[in-house]
């Protein structure tokens, strides 16, 4: 190899060294840039993780507050149900005292007759027994209605429930006629029977208040239907209607057992119907109602996946149907 070739080789080596140095500088720059990006990413990631942890903690606090608020709401609803029951008992007190006074008068009179006429003792004893049985039945009904138990589900026959309700309210709402009609072969519903009794008693008492001063009748009956079919019947008759709880089409078409409380009173204004199930709304005179009865009825029935359908025409009475889902057994 001559000098010229050696010189050319050194020149080539020098050029490659320069290219290597340039490439290393470029690689170092790329590495530093990548390192900077990674550092920034890690810092942003740490910030994001910190924000996520803070948001998660806030969410846990909010959920805990929401759960506490939900429990308080449930307690408040149960207190309202109990207070409405006690209010109803207060309204019934005078009528109950009157009902107790009558058989007591009979008992006292018969005891006096037995003292004066011993030979009629057997007949008088029978009358005493009947009067005492009436008093026992009345006090048992009052105690059963006033018991304060919460949400105890059991299989309930709506016909039997209506019979109990009629027996309870008849001595109390003496100014109105109560007609009971039961249905055959009704399936059972899974509810707290005492709560549904409370709803029905409240509806009957409301009907009695609406018909104050007139010769009114309340019809009680049970049946089986879908809510959708009941709404269609109301539409066909040209009656205004409203539901206590909004439902989708699927729920409206399900199978329900219903208890109906219908009266021949003045009816309900269509302008009032949309508000009737709201808390503290009442059409009664001041001092004659809390406006909680129907709101509590909505809460109770809703707890058991049911609904209340109100249909009415002014001057032609009102009809409340309490729908409860059929129990699958």
Report the SS3 class of residue 204: helix
Residue-level pLDDT at 287: 46
Residues 14, 15, 17, 22: is their CA dihedral positive or negative?
positive
Residues 99, 102, 104, 106: is their CA dihedral positive or negative?
negative
Measured between alpha carbons, how far is residue 155 from residues 161, 192, 315, 325 in Å?
11, 8, 38, 12
Q: Which domains does the chain have, with CATH numbers?
A: 149-329 (3.30.565.10)
**Mean pLDDT throughout 76-90?**
61
Give the span between the Cα atoms of 131 and 102, in whole angstroms. Answer: 9
For 187-203, the DSSP string reads: PPEEE-HHHHHHHHHHH
Provide the pLDDT confidence category of residue 199 given band limits of 50, 70 and 90. confident
Residue-level pLDDT at 224: 94
> What pLDDT, in 10s, does the model give residues 89-108?
555 555 555 556 656 666 76
**Mean pLDDT throughout 106-119?**
69
More reliable by pLDDT, 29 or 329: 29
Percent of the chain residues past pLDDT 70, beyond the cut: 64
Q: Is the pLDDT of residue 222 over 80?
A: yes
Q: Worst-scoring range by mean pLDDT, 11-20, 41-50, 214-223, 283-292?
A: 283-292
Q: Is the pLDDT of residue 186 over 70?
A: yes
**Mean pLDDT throughout 60-79?**
73
């Amino acid at each position: 190899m001559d000098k010229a070739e050696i010189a050319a080789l050194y020149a080539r080596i020098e050029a490659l060294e320069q290219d290597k140095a340039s490439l290393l500088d470029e690689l170092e720059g790329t590495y530093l840039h990548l390192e900077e990006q990674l550092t920034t990413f890690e810092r942003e990631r740490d910030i994001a993780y910190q924000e996520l942890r803070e948001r998660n903690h806030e969410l846990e606090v909010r959920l805990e507050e929401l759960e506490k608020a939900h429990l308080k709401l449930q307690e408040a609803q149960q207190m309202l149900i109990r207070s409405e029951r006690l209010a109803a008992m207060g309204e019934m007190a005078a009528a109950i005292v009157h009902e107790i006074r009558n058989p007591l008068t009979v008992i006292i009179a018969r005891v006096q007759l037995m003292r004066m006429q011993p030979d009629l003792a057997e007949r008088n004893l029978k009358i005493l027994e009947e009067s005492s049985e009436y008093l026992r039945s009345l006090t048992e009904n009052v105690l059963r209605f006033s018991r304060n138990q919460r949400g105890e589900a059991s299989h309930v026959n709506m016909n039997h429930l209506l019979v109990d309700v009629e027996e309870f309210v008849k001595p109390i709402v003496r100014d109105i006629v109560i007609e009971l009609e039961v249905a055959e072969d009704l399936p059972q519903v899974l509810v707290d029977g005492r709560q549904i009794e409370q709803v029905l008693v409240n509806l009957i008492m409301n009907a009695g208040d609406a018909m104050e001063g007139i010769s009114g009748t309340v019809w009680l009956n049970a049946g089986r239907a879908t809510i959708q079919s009941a709404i269609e019947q109301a539409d066909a008759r040209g009656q205004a209607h409203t539901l206590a709880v909004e439902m989708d089409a699927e729920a409206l078409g399900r199978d329900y057992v219903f208890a109906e409380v219908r009266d021949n009173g003045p009816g309900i204004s269509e302008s009032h119907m949309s508000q009737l199930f709201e808390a503290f709304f009442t059409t009664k005179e001041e001092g004659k109602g809390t406006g909680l009865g129907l709101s509590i009825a909505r809460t109770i029935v809703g707890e058991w996946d049911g609904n209340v359908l109100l249909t009415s025409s002014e001057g032609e009475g009102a009809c409340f149907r309490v729908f409860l889902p059929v129990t699958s057994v």
